[in-house]
Amino acid sequence: MKKIILLPFAIILLFISCTNDESDDIFIPPTEPITEDNIPNECHIIEKDGLLIIEAENFNLKGNWRTIEDDKASGGKYIEYYGANSYNTPNLAHEISVSFKIDKASNYLVRWYMRQPDESEGDLANDVWIYFPENLGQAYINNSPYILEHYEKFVSRGQGEFTYGGALDIHEPKSSSWMRVNFPAAGEYTLKICARSQFFQLDKMVFSIGMTDVEAQEASKNLTETTTCD
């Protein structure tokens, strides 16, 4: 009598046990190969409301750049160059880059939030080499557009707080200029930066369109980058 009562429980236990084993052990192969149409999600930095903001900590770092956490920095982080100065020519061992997406032909003013260390005097630790591949960067010399075909010095000042600014310091011909970047069509583009000054700190890049520089500064102060995923 006792065996008859226990039998249904034994069968149920066996069934649960087998089911669990199967779900743990069976490997289900992917049903379709990975193609261009079903690759895993990829995210891109994009423009929003006239601002394309790039957090510096999203650059692909190389050489003597490092990411540092700081509550004062946008996104809680900035990057610092801790290698030797490279004032005369870009040293590609410390070249970093970041990619982003543009949705239509457009021309942006290029600025940034940067900081010099507290102990830096004057114009120490306040610049980088900057270049947009495909010669998309532009300066204005004698009120005429000037195509930037290689790295140029980009500089500003700021201590204590990360500070909005950034302008070109071109040596041949010698000129100081705002920097703009001209994207000819929708697509993915890259910004390259190469180290120039030891202990320079970069928080974020700010590209603006359809607003004044003062408006861009106000609007970008407490904003981080915008991303979209496929």
- Site residues for Ca ion per CB under 5 A: 55, 73-75, 77, 203-204
Beta-sheet pairing, 226-229 with 77-81? unpaired
Shortest distance in whole angstroms from residue 206 CB to Ca ion: 11
Shortest distance in whole angstroms from residue 58 CB to Ca ion: 8
Q: Are 41 and 29 in contact (CB under 8 A)?
A: no
75/83 with CB nearer Ca ion: 75
Beta-sheet pairing, 95-102 with 180-183? unpaired
Shortest distance in whole angstroms from residue 15 CB to Ca ion: 56
10/43 with CB nearer Ca ion: 43
Query: Other C-beta atoms within 10 Å of 147: how many?
Result: 10
74/86 with CB nearer Ca ion: 74
Listed in sequence order, the residues at least 6 apart from 19 whose beta carbon sits closer than 8 Å to its beta carbon are: none
The number of C-alpha atoms within 13 Å of 53 and in the hemisphere containing its C-beta is 21
Shortest distance in whole angstroms from residue 85 CB to Ca ion: 23
66/89 with CB nearer Ca ion: 66
Bridge partners, residue 204, by sequence? 55, 113
Rounded CA-CA distance 121/159 in Å is 10
45/139 with CB nearer Ca ion: 45
Shortest distance in whole angstroms from residue 134 CB to Ca ion: 26
